[in-house]
Structure 1
Amino acid sequence: MYFWDKHKTITTYYELLSGEVCDRYGLTQMEYDILMFLHNNPQYNTAAEIVKIRKSTKSHVSTSLKNLESKGLVERIQSKDNKKHIEIALLDQAEIIIEAGLNTQKQFAQNVLRGLTEEETRLCIRVFDKICNNAEEQLKNDKENES
């Protein structure tokens, strides 16, 4: 399928760029992705939210968070009101990796959007959002139909 093949090309290119950061700092792709997700989406700072929004498996997120914690890059903060609610916080030691990741994301965006006008970029984002929303809706419908 054309869209899927092209999507894989974009993903492969992003992983190539971000892989350089992973290699430099001894991270797996999932660990890197979680660090960047927490930085770019500070409102979603629990393991459950990472799993839900990134469509990752619980086991991969759990393992990656344990590794990030052992590397001193994140810490888990248990809520005083609800012992089951644990927030993930980025630590200062993660800042250099986040900076490198942001530079990588900026380079990626510049390279893949090269030659597009501002209007074309906005249109591309709108269309992609619609595609993602449609897929999200279908996933929700399929899940409801299974019940």
Structure 2
Amino acid sequence: MNQLLFMIHNSLELYESLCQPVCRNCNLPQTALDILLFLANNPEYDTARDICRVRGIKANLVSFHVEKLVQEEYLQREPVPGDRRQVKLLLTEKSQTVVEQGRAVQQNYREILTAHITPSDMEVFGRCMDTIRQNIEDAKHTETKAKLTEKGDKKR
């Protein structure tokens, strides 16, 4: 397990170091770049709440960086019809250059990570990741059911 933790840590360090030229060139902090790329790569997730929930960035950081990105015209806000509390975040024309540069970094990062891995090993890895994802979802579902049952037992 320690190997996995070190690998994840080193992988994130590598990714951030690969992103630094884009961040410097565009005068953006890493978190702001992460937000723009998340929105570009995941159009089905287009709210600050989605970024927090799916990308795992803390709400105060998302709020701060979204505000700056709106002020700098990389993002614009659009109200969600029928839900005044929800606001969609839309990439602007200005963000397209940043997104293109960021996606090039992401492609380079993928190539570095998968160098010397055969297609058959990648298939096995993909199946393992799918199984781990399913195990996590099953465990979360089981934990949620247990909490609901526990709450029901306390009400009696």
- Structure-2-length-normalised TM-score: 0.84
Structure 2 equivalent of residue 107 of structure 1: 108
Structure 1: stretches of 5+ with no match in the other structure: none
Q: Per-residue deviation at 1:135?
A: 4.4
Q: 1:129 to 1:62 in 2, by over 3 A?
A: farther
**Which of 1 and 2 has greater Rg?**
2
Structure 1 equivalent of residue 154 of structure 2: none
SS at 1:83's partner residue?
A: strand
CA-to-aligned-CA distance 1:64-98 (integer Å, 9 cap, x gap) = 10011111000110123221121000000000000
Q: 1:54 to 1:136 in 2, by over 3 A?
A: farther
Q: Tell me whether 1:17 sits opposite 2:18 in the alignment.
A: yes
Structure 2 equivalent of residue 33 of structure 1: 34
Q: Per-residue deviation at 1:128?
A: 2.9
Q: Distance in 2 between matches of 1:132 and 1:20?
A: 33
Q: Distance in 2 between matches of 1:139 and 1:58?
A: 22
With 119-128 and 40-49 compared, the bigger mean Cα shift is at: 119-128
- Code of the residue aligned with 2:96 in structure 1: it is E
- Code of the residue aligned with 2:50 in structure 1: it is E
CA-to-aligned-CA distance 1:82-129 (integer Å, 9 cap, x gap) = 211210000000000000011101111111100111221232233234
Equivalences, count: 147
SS at 2:94's partner residue?
A: helix
SS at 1:121's partner residue?
A: helix
Q: Hey, which bits of structure 1, 4+ residues long, moved more than 6 A?
A: none
Q: Distance in 1 between matches of 2:122 and 2:34?
A: 24
Q: Tell me whether 1:75 sits opposite 2:76 in the alignment.
A: yes
CA-to-aligned-CA distance 1:4-41 (integer Å, 9 cap, x gap) = 11111111111110122111111111111110000110
Q: Distance in 2 between matches of 1:61 and 1:137?
A: 29
- Code of the residue aligned with 1:22 in structure 2: it is C
- Code of the residue aligned with 1:110 in structure 2: it is E
SS at 1:116's partner residue?
A: coil
Structure 2 equivalent of residue 97 of structure 1: 98
Q: Distance in 2 between matches of 1:133 and 1:17?
A: 31
Q: Distance in 1 between matches of 2:140 and 2:69?
A: 30
Percentage of matched positions with identical amino acids: 24
C-alpha RMSD over aligned residues: 2.1
- Structure-1-length-normalised TM-score: 0.89
Q: 1:137 to 1:13 in 2, by over 3 A?
A: farther
- Code of the residue aligned with 2:76 in structure 1: it is E
